Each structure stands twice: as structure tokens, then as C-alpha cells.
């Protein structure tokens, strides 16, 4: 299949909407990351998303809408949904509600559905034309999420007909996912921070899997049990990043070290940095431990997964496996 990479115009949006309506996949920008979209009401089209990404069949998709009415037609509303909608939507947040008329292919058979109303103007225009769109992040399953159209193209060239290019994503990490089916719970930190949520939902709790490597009940938080966001290069979080970096350089390891800047910038750069590691043929990517405040909590959540929960203490010896050899580094 020939994959077209098109800047967003009236024409490319209309083409995209036509493709969606005929059951094809189209990648599009949002303020968080790029999405790989299909008609949310067409189960056969939605199946193509799982095939193209290599996504496990038990991991449900988010449905993207462009109005409150559309959202209310897809999930059972409640008081908390109203509060969250008024405070944060449109914006980088997804709320899980009891599902109404959404196909099983979207929800992976769950009785709930994730609903999101993106803030990105091009996303809104696209959804308005194409109807509700089921879309995960537009990356091959397990790889870092895409924050540019080129990232999407790198993963899906030859596999989908169209990538709509709306430039780089502003937020850089995915939407916050909360479930409001019962008592409010944070399932995935993202563009809307926990501090912002607590102001609107004072009794919200945080799922254990946000910062820990816990055994998961698939129904509560299906997405968090899979390996995620990982490039080929080994990713680690280091308490003494400078020391580990010097030790790696001395041993001839191809390495990069990222210090913390501010949380917002770190979030925006995160996935592009992970992707660049492979483009540059690096063997080791070291990150300083992020703050867990504001959007820093999302950066920590993604980095813990990308590193398979590898946090290296100061002074700790770290064995890096390179091909058949082990290199001993010191943190």
C-alpha cells in the first residue's frame, strides 16, 4: 500500500474523512500524540488497528469525539463526568464511562468505554467530518508514541493509506486516563495533572500501576500491563546520571544522558528522545529521575515502563548486556 503523508488542508481532511467512512485507517494529530484512527462504529475497521499495530486484543481503544453530545451518546453520563467535562474538555484527558452503543472491537469486550474530546483544532475538524474515531497512539505496539507525522510514517509506511501532518504535538505524553464508572480512579497520568484533577474530584485515587510494577487485573487497567515506550537501546533512570554516563563513556558504550529540565519540556521531548536513540544507534539512554509533580508524574510513569523499572542507585554496579558481552558500569 502507498502511504500518503499530507499537510492538513481542507482537501486532505476531506480525503481522510472519506477513508475513515470507507473503513480505512488514517493517522491524525492531537495535542498529546498522534492517533491511528478508524470509524469507531465499524468493528471491522477497528480490527485493522489491532492488526497494523500488533496490539494485544484485550487492550481497549479510546473513542475520540468533537462535541459533548457525541460523548453523551457513547457513554452513560454521571455527576463526575459532568464535572470532568466542564473542567477539562476539550483537552488531554480520557474518561472511562459505562459504554452505550460502542462495538466490542473498540472496548475489547469491556462494559466500559474511554472517551476523549481533543483540544487540537485539526483533530476537532477531522472528527467533525469523519464521525467518532477509535484511535490508539499511532506507534507499533511497544514502541515510543509518535509526536510527529514523521514518527508515524516511520512505523506505518506501506501499512496505512494516509498520515495527516499537523506538526509536532504540544503536550508530548498521552492523555490522562481516569475511570468514572465507580469511584474516580487515575489509571494513567497524562496531559491533565493529578493536582488539577484533585481540585475537581477530591476523592480520586491513584491506581497502583501508575508508579509500580504490579500484577494487574486486566479489567481495571488493561494498557498498563504491557511493555511500553521502549526503543531498542537500553533505557535506565539513574540517581547519579553524571557518574553512570562517565562510566559508560570510559567503557566505549554509545550513550546519551538527559538531565531534567522543566516538566513540561521534558514531557514534550520524551518520546522523540527515545526514538532518536535508535536512529543514532545508541546502546544506552540515561535519564535523571523525574520529579513526580505536575506532568512530571507522566514522565516518570513512561520512563519507568521504557526502562522496565530500572532505577540505578548512586554507587550501584549496573551490568549492561551488549550483544553477547556484559559491560559493568557504576552509577
| Residues at the interface with ligand TXA (CB under 6 A) | 30, 32-33, 35, 59-62, 94, 96, 107, 110, 112-114, 116, 135-137, 174-175, 177, 179, 187-188, 221-223
Q: Residue 44: which H helix or E strand, with range?
A: helix 43-53
Minimum CB separation of residue 272 from ligand TXA in Å reads 16
Minimum CB separation of residue 259 from Mg ion in Å reads 26
Kindly tell me which of 16 and 114 has the beta carbon lying closer to ligand TXA.
114
* 137 is a contact residue toward Mg ion (CB under 5 A): yes
Kindly tell me which of 144 and 241 has the beta carbon lying closer to Mg ion.
144
Cell numbers standing for residue 177: 486516563
Binding-residue total with Mg ion (CB under 5 A): 1
Q: Which does 222 bind (CB under 5 to 8 A by kind): Mg ion, ligand TXA, none?
A: ligand TXA
Kindly tell me which of 80 and 137 has the beta carbon lying closer to Mg ion.
137
With CB atoms as reference, the residue minimizing the distance to ligand TXA is 223
152 vs 33: CA distance, rounded Å: 10
Strand pairing report for 325-330 and 317-322: antiparallel
227 vs 61: CA distance, rounded Å: 17
108: left (phi over 0), alpha (psi -120 to 50) or beta: left
Minimum CB separation of residue 116 from ligand TXA in Å reads 5
Residue 1 neighbours by CB distance under 10 Å = 10
The stretch near Mg ion (CB under 5 A) out of 134-142, 151-159, 160-168, 209-217 is: 134-142
- Contacts to Mg ion from residues 220-279, by CB under 5 A: none
Kindly tell me which of 270 and 320 has the beta carbon lying closer to ligand TXA.
270
Cell numbers standing for residue 60: 481497549
277 vs 297: CA distance, rounded Å: 22
Q: Which does 116 bind (CB under 5 to 8 A by kind): ligand TXA, Mg ion, none?
A: ligand TXA
Cell numbers standing for residue 40: 469507531
Kindly tell me which of 205 and 328 has the beta carbon lying closer to ligand TXA.
205
What Rg do the C-alpha atoms of the chain give, in angstroms? 20
Kindly tell me which of 179 and 247 has the beta carbon lying closer to ligand TXA.
179
Minimum CB separation of residue 95 from ligand TXA in Å reads 10
Q: Which does 70 bind (CB under 5 to 8 A by kind): ligand TXA, Mg ion, none?
A: none
Minimum CB separation of residue 133 from ligand TXA in Å reads 9
Helix 263-279 vs helix 296-306: angle between axes, to the nearest 10 degrees? 20
- Comparing CA positions, the residue from 140, 142, 141, 150 lying closest to residue 279 is 150
Minimum CB separation of residue 221 from Mg ion in Å reads 13
Minimum CB separation of residue 113 from ligand TXA in Å reads 5
Q: What DSSP line would sit under 51-73, residue for residue?
A: HHHT--TTSPPEEE-SSHHHHHH
Measured CA to CA in angstroms, residue 1 lies from 91, 160, 199, 223 at distances of 33, 7, 48, 29
Kindly tell me which of 59 and 310 has the beta carbon lying closer to ligand TXA.
59
Minimum CB separation of residue 64 from ligand TXA in Å reads 6
Which residues, at least 6 apart from 60, have a Cβ–Cβ distance to it below 8 Å? 106, 107, 108, 110, 112, 113, 114, 222, 223
Kindly tell me which of 94 and 240 has the beta carbon lying closer to Mg ion.
94
**Contacts to Mg ion by CB under 5 A:** 137
Amino acid at each position: 500500500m502507498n502511504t500518503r503523508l499530507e499537510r492538513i488542508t481542507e482537501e486532505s481532511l476531506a480525503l481522510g474523512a472519506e477513508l475513515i467512512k470507507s473503513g480505512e485507517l488514517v493517522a491524525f494529530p492531537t495535542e498529546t500524540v498522534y492517533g491511528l484512527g478508524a470509524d469507531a462504529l465499524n468493528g471491522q475497521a477497528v480490527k485493522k488497528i489491532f492488526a497494523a499495530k500488533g496490539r494485544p486484543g484485550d487492550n481497549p481503544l479510546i473513542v475520540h469525539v468533537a462535541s459533548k453530545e457525541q460523548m453523551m451518546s457513547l457513554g452513560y453520563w454521571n455527576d463526575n463526568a459532568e464535572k470532568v467535562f466542564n473542567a477539562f474538555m476539550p483537552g488531554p484527558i480520557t474518561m472511562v464511562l459505562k459504554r452505550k452503543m460502542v462495538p466490542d472491537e473498540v472496548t475489547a469486550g469491556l462494559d466500559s468505554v474511554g472517551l476523549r474530546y481533543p483540544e487540537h483544532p485539526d483533530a476537532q475538524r477531522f472528527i467533525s467530518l469523519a464521525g467518532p474515531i477509535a484511535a490508539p497512539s499511532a506507534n507499533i505496539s511497544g514502541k515510543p508514541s509518535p509526536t510527529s507525522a514523521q514518527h508515524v510514517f516511520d512505523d506505518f509506511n506501506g501499512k496505512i493509506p494516509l498520515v495527516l501532518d499537523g506538526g509536532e504535538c504540544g503536550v508530548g505524553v498521552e492523555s490522562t486516563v481516569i475511570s468514572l464508572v465507580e469511584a474516580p480512579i487515575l489509571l494513567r497520568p497524562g496531559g491533565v495533572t493529578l493536582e488539577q484533577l484533585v481540585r475537581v474530584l477530591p476523592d480520586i485515587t491513584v491506581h497502583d500501576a501508575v508508579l509500580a510494577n504490579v500484577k494487574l487485573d486486566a479489567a481495571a487497567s488493561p494498557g498498563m500491563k504491557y511493555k511500553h515506550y521502549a526503543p531498542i537501546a537500553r533505557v535506565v533512570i539513574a540517581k547519579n546520571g553524571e557518574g553512570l554516563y562517565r562510566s559508560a563513556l570510559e567503557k566505549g558504550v554509545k550513550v546519551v544522558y538527559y538531565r531534567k529540565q522543566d516538566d513540561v519540556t521534558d514531557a514534550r521531548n520524551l518520546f522523540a528522545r527515545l526514538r532518536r536513540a535508535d536512529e543514532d544507534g545508541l546502546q544506552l539512554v540515561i535519564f535523571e529521575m523525574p520529579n513526580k509533580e505536575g506532568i512530571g508524574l507522566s514522565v516518570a510513569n513512561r520512563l519507568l515502563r521504557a526502562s522496565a523499572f530500572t532505577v540505578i542507585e548512586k554507587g550501584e554496579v549496573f551490568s549492561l548486556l551488549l550483544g553477547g558481552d556484559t559491560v559493568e558500569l557504576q552509577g
